[in-house]
Amino acid sequence: MVLFGAVLISASLLGMDLGLPTLASALAAMAIATPGRGKAIAAIVGAVSWSVLPMVAGLFVLVDALRVAGALHGVDRALNGFSRLPALAGSLAASFSVAFPSNLMNNLPSGLLTGSALQEAAVPDHIRPALLIGVDLGPNLSVTGSLATLLWLIALRREGEHISGWTFLRAGLWVMPPALVVAALALVLAAR
């Protein structure tokens, strides 16, 4: 696991796309864990949530459609607005502005759009990490917020645990907003 982690971190540091190194690491891990055991490999392949793949492909199509529709201009205007606010207000606004769309359309498209806009924008140092906090913590409000949440819910349902969207949302309302506020506050205090 340490070796595979090093491979992925190295690929990231080199600016490579992580798809191929992740696939190669997963296949190598499977080969090491199940040498010559065809039934184990078949069980692993059978346990993959294949239904998630079309959803992820659809999210990338959504991102391209939003770019073509001019969503980057709106994100750029919002980034400029956050930059003019005092540090704490700007951090909170940036975090929450990406957190709520992440719960509506998933954090993959909202993170990709925000990241694309950030490549062009000149923003203060506290805005970038605030957006990252919003993309990472924000999707904990709803079940649709994060691909990781969807995958965990699929795994839990396989084990007989059922968590409804309403139950997740009620817990998320108590957890996500305070976590974002505390993280934004810590970000501003750490920058001083």
Q: Quick check: 127 and 79 in contact, CB under 8 A?
A: yes
158-188 pLDDT tens trace: 889 999 989 999 999 999 999 999 999 998 8
Q: What is the pLDDT at residue 173? A: 94
pLDDT of residue 177: 95
Answer yes or no: is pLDDT of 103 > 80: yes
pLDDT interval class at 1 (50, 70, 90): confident
The C-alpha angle 118, 122, 123, rounded to 5 degrees, equals: 80
Q: How far apart are CA 152 and CA 162, in angstroms?
A: 11
Confidence of residue 116 (pLDDT cuts 50, 70, 90): confident
Reading the block at residue 142, the tokens are 């709803």
Q: Is the pLDDT of residue 38 over 80?
A: no
Note the pLDDT tens digit of each residue in 129-154.
999 999 999 999 999 899 888 888 88
Q: How far apart are the C-alpha atoms of 173 and 175, rounded to whole Å?
A: 6
- For the chain, the domains span 1-48, 49-191
Q: How far is residue 176's CA from residue 137's CA, in Å, rounded to a whole number?
A: 7
Q: Where are the beta strands (DSSP E) in 2-99?
A: none
Q: What is the mean pLDDT of residues 83-103?
A: 92
